[in-house]
């Protein structure tokens, strides 16, 4: 029996649970150019090539541990002189009264490997030839660009559709209200010119006109942002936040903004619009602060990879994005309203402003192919979450210019 | 063990299984090389107190291979999307994420992107980057990995099952055990090669600093894929982390030394670390 397994025309070796070689047969010794004594008691890893060791750790061992056996596993063993010997191995995990052993038997597949290598090489050569075909490559690139442009166009289309609805709402509702007031108070003034009430009416008259004026101004800014072709440059948002803080403090005497910001990775963006964005956000935080004169703003920043395709299902291209979380300890708002906050002239708080600030922010972020959202808890805080690509897409930039 | 099979689109795509008597979600993510079965020596210890969620990444185990997308899964960000989509569909919150090997980084990327789903992180044999780079010891040279990729192309473990999952499940071999074993660690050579590339050529060292979760790093005392230097590197560069070097050896301590892994996990979860 001993003799049989020693010279049986296949390699055979066994190992203990901790990976020490328990036994090897002559055939294996011959392939690897070792004496039996040199191997028994040594670590299995000594006869495994590095790739086999990785494969052993990630596939072979888990398979044996879960299933108890593995068949037709291709590995390479390392001979004494470092040469790689390709093997096809079957393995068993045997539990004898709690003592675990691993048994391996296999055949050398040098010839088969050569053949297989040739097949794989031929397959790769064919693939390579296919990939290197210039015309095909150009067509593929064009196709990919078209997909990206299509994705952008769908995004743009959806956005414009939404804007159209908002403008419609503006025309039919938002501007109707001040106009109705104007008519009402003007008729009062005309009908009873001497009445003391008319002083009040005249004041309200003025306020309604201002309201219309402000809304038209906001609208103008919005349209301006929509048509602006963007010039990109490297931007340090920390600097921009510092100047936005100063500006908003000047505009709100007596208020101090405490800005606690993490280091922000540099991005390429339009400086003017980024400035506008931060000023709007800080103005908002100031407006919706809790009673008092201090506005606490925390900024968290990180970079991460996101799929740049936002509309086309099944398309993926992961690119680097900046994630900014701008948190204030303001009066917060209820979650269901978060989408509405970005709609034109949607005022969530009775004390609120014109309803133009956040839509402008959204416009700016979307101009940069990013996204913006709000999270918050009423009475606790609100957080604006902004994703911006670290670098603009040059090809899409050309497209944006065309737009 | 009561197993709840789920019908949602993501749940069936990723072959999600839920068990356990508790409510606190414990989400286990397998690494490169196997599937959710890897966790079978660990999960029973948590059945009583936790809600255990297991899944296979697309391309592994019993996932829906038709959902495999070359561009998506060329990057660990694509695998992180699987994790986030499972969390989203199951409406999970405060998840304790347990990842083995490359899944540690996948989980961290997912949590960096959508922190709202996660509360804690347990990393078993993690590595932020596998290739040596200057002073950084990843453990491998690029050429080493090329050899592995070649080996991946030539192994077809359970491949036939992959293409026709039911072909072997006939009534002559009854019993859940048999049915399960047939799909263990199934490996489609093309997908496995790409997963190996996404794994071993990934470099997430720059992402570590964004970790906000309390994190346990379990490091084997002898692991060629994540050598001791990696544990030290993580202890220095992964915020909110606590490193435990185990007596366990090898890259799969959760399979070879489950008792030690369970003990350290429980100590960490009970705030004893």
A230 pLDDT more than 60 = yes
pLDDT band per the 50, 70, 90 thresholds, residue A18: confident
Q: Distance, in angstroms, between B189 CA and closest chain A CA?
A: 12
- pLDDT tens-digit profile of A30-49? 999 999 999 999 999 999 99
Q: What is the secondary structure of A40-65 as a DSSP string?
A: TTSBGGGGB-HHHHHHIIIIIHHHHH
- pLDDT tens-digit profile of A288-327? 888 888 999 999 999 999 998 888 888 899 999 999 999 9
Half-sphere exposure of A25 (CA within 13 A, CB side): 19
Task: State which residue of chain B sits closest to A322, comparing Cα positions.
Answer: B113
A366 pLDDT more than 60 = yes
Residue of A330, A361, A359, A334 whose CA lies nearest to A348: A334
- Asked whether the beta carbons of B13 and B58 are under 8 A apart, the reply is yes
> In chain B, where do the E strands start and end?
4-5, 17-19, 24-29, 50-55, 95-100, 118-124, 214-219, 241-245
B26 pLDDT more than 90 = yes
Is the CB of A62 less than 8 angstroms away from the CB of B252?
A: yes
Residue of A167, A178, A248, A238 whose CA lies nearest to A213: A178
pLDDT band per the 50, 70, 90 thresholds, residue A339: low
**Which of chain A's residues have a Cβ under 8 Å away from the Cβ of B102?**
none
Q: Distance, in angstroms, between A148 CA and closest chain B CA?
A: 14
**pLDDT of res. A344:** 67
Question: What mean pLDDT value characterizes chain A?
Answer: 84
* Interface list for chain A against chain B, based on CB atoms closer than 8 Å: 18-19, 45, 49-55, 57-59, 61-63, 65-67, 70, 72-76, 116, 120, 302-307, 314-318, 323, 375
A215 pLDDT more than 80 = no
B165 pLDDT more than 70 = no
**pLDDT of res. A397:** 52
Is the CB of B184 less than 8 angstroms away from the CB of A314?
A: no
Is the CB of B225 less than 8 angstroms away from the CB of A67?
A: no
**Which residues, other chains included, contact B144 with Cβ-Cβ below 8 Å and sequence gap of 6+?**
A50, A51, A54
Total length of chain A: 403
- pLDDT tens-digit profile of B148-163? 888 888 887 654 433 3
pLDDT band per the 50, 70, 90 thresholds, residue B126: very high
- Of the given ranges (A116-130, A271-285, B18-32, B118-132), which has the lowest mean pLDDT? A116-130
Of A54, A65, A67, nearest to B148 by CB-CB distance is A54
**pLDDT of res. A289:** 85
Q: Distance, in angstroms, between A117 CA and closest chain B CA?
A: 9
Mean pLDDT for the stretch of residues A3-12 = 80
Range among A224-238, A279-293, B63-77 rated most confident: B63-77
Residue B40 contacts A where some CB pair is shorter than 8 Å: yes
**Which of chain A's residues have a Cβ under 8 Å away from the Cβ of B250?**
19, 57, 61
B246 pLDDT more than 80 = yes
Structure-model confidence comparison of residues B120 and A150, the more confident one: B120
Residues of chain B above pLDDT 70, percent: 86
Is the CB of B144 less than 8 angstroms away from the CB of A55?
A: no
Note whether ipTM > 0.90 here: no
Q: Count contacts between A and B (CB, < 8 Å).
A: 116
B137 φ, ψ to 5°? Answer: -100, 105
pLDDT band per the 50, 70, 90 thresholds, residue A332: low
Of B71, B101, B256, nearest to A316 by CB-CB distance is B71
Edge-first strand listing for the sheet containing A84-96? A21-24, A11-16, A99-108, A84-96, A69-78
Going from the C-alpha of B113 to that of each of B28, B98, B116, B212, the distances in angstroms are 18, 17, 9, 11
Structure tokens of B165?
Answer: 């999952």
Q: Distance, in angstroms, between A189 CA and closest chain B CA?
A: 57
pLDDT band per the 50, 70, 90 thresholds, residue B65: confident
Q: How many H-runs (helices) and E-runs (strands) does chain A carry? A: 13, 12
- Of the given ranges (A61-75, A173-187, A337-351, B13-27), which has the lowest mean pLDDT? A337-351
**pLDDT of res. A178:** 78
Angstrom distance (rounded) from CA A46 to CA A15: 12
Catalytic residue annotation of B = 101, 223, 251
> Could you count the other beta carbons within 10 Å of the beta carbon of residue B154?
20
Residue B94 contacts A where some CB pair is shorter than 8 Å: no
Of A65, A120, A318, nearest to B153 by CB-CB distance is A120
pLDDT band per the 50, 70, 90 thresholds, residue B103: very high
Q: What is the pTM of this model?
A: 0.81
- State the Rg of chain A over Cα: 36
Task: Please say whether the dihedral angle defined by the alpha carbons of residues A335, A336, A342 and A348, taken in this order, is positive or negative.
Answer: negative
């Amino acid at each position: 029996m001993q003799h049989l397994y020693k010279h049986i025309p296949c390699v055979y070796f066994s190992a203990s649970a901790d990976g020490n070689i328990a036994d090897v047969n002559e055939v294996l010794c011959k392939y690897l150019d070792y004496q039996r004594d040199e191997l028994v008691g040594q670590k299995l890893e000594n006869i495994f090539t590095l790739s086999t060791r990785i494969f052993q750790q990630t596939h072979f061992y888990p398979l044996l541990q879960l299933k108890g056996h593995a068949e037709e596993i291709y590995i390479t063993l390392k001979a004494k002189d470092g040469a790689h010997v390709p093997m096809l191995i079957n393995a068993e995990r045997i539990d004898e009264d709690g003592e675990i052993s691993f048994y391996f038997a296999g055949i050398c597949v040098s010839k088969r490997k050569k053949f297989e290598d040739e097949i794989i090489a031929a397959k790769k050569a064919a693939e390579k030839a296919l990939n290197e075909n210039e015309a095909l490559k150009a067509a593929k690139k064009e196709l990919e660009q078209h997909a990206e442009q299509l994705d952008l166009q769908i995004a743009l289309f959806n956005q414009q559709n939404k804007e159209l609805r908002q403008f419609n709402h503006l025309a039919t509702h938002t501007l109707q209200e001040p106009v109705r007031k104007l008519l009402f108070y003007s008729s009062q003034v005309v009908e009873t010119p001497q009445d003391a009430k008319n002083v009040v009416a005249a004041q309200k008259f003025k306020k309604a006109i201002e309201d219309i004026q402000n809304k038209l101004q906001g609208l103008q800014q919005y349209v301006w942002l929509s048509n602006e072709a963007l010039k990109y440059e490297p931007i340090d948002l920390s600097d921009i936040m510092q100047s936005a803080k100063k500006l908003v403090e000047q505009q709100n005497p007596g208020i101090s903004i405490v800005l606690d910001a993490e280091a922000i990775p540099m991005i390429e963006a339009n400086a003017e619009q980024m400035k506008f964005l931060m000023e709007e956000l800080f103005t908002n935080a100031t407006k919706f602060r809790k009673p008092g004169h201090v506005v606490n703003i925390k900024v968290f920043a990180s970079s991460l990879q996101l799929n740049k395709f936002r509309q086309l299902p099944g398309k993926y291209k992961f690119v680097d994005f900046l994630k900014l979380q701008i948190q204030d300890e303001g009066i917060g708002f209820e979650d269901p309203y978060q989408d509405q906050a970005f709609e034109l002239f949607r005022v969530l708080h009775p004390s609120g402003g014109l309803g133009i600030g956040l839509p402008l922010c959204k416009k700016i972020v979307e101009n940069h192919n990013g996204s913006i959202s709000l999270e918050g808890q009423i009475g606790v805080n609100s957080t604006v979450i902004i994703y911006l690509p670290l670098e603009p897409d040059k090809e899409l930039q050309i497209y944006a210019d065309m737009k | 063990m009561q197993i709840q099979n789920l019908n949602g689109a993501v749940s069936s795509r990723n072959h999600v299984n839920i068990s356990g008597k508790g409510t606190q979600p414990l989400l286990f993510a397998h690494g490169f090389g196997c599937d959710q079965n890897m966790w079978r020596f660990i999960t029973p210890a948590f059945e009583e107190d936790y809600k255990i969620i297991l899944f296979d990444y697309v391309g592994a185990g019993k996932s829906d291979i038709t959902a495999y997308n070359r561009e998506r899964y060329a990057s660990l960000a694509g695998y992180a999307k699987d994790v986030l989509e499972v969390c989203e569909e199951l409406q999970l919150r405060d998840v304790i994420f347990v990842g083995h090997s490359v899944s540690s980084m996948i989980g961290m990327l997912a949590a960096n992107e959508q922190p709202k789903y996660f509360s804690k992180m347990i990393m078993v044999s993690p590595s932020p980057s596998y290739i040596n780079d200057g002073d950084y010891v990843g453990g491998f040279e690029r050429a080493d990995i090329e050899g592995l990729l070649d080996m991946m192309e030539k192994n077809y473990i359970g491949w036939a099952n992959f293409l026709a999952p039911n072909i072997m499940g006939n009534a002559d071999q009854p019993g859940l055990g048999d049915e399960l074993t047939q799909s263990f660690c199934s490996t489609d050579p093309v997908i496995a090669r790409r997963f190996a590339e996404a794994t071993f050529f990934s470099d997430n060292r720059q992402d570590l600093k964004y970790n906000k979760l309390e994190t346990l790093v379990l490091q084997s005392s002898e692991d060629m894929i994540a050598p001791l230097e990696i544990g030290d590197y993580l202890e220095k560069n992964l915020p909110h982390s606590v490193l435990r070097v185990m007596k366990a050896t090898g890259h799969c301590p959760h399979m070879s030394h489950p008792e030690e892994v369970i003990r350290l996990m429980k100590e960490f979860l009970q705030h004893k670390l």
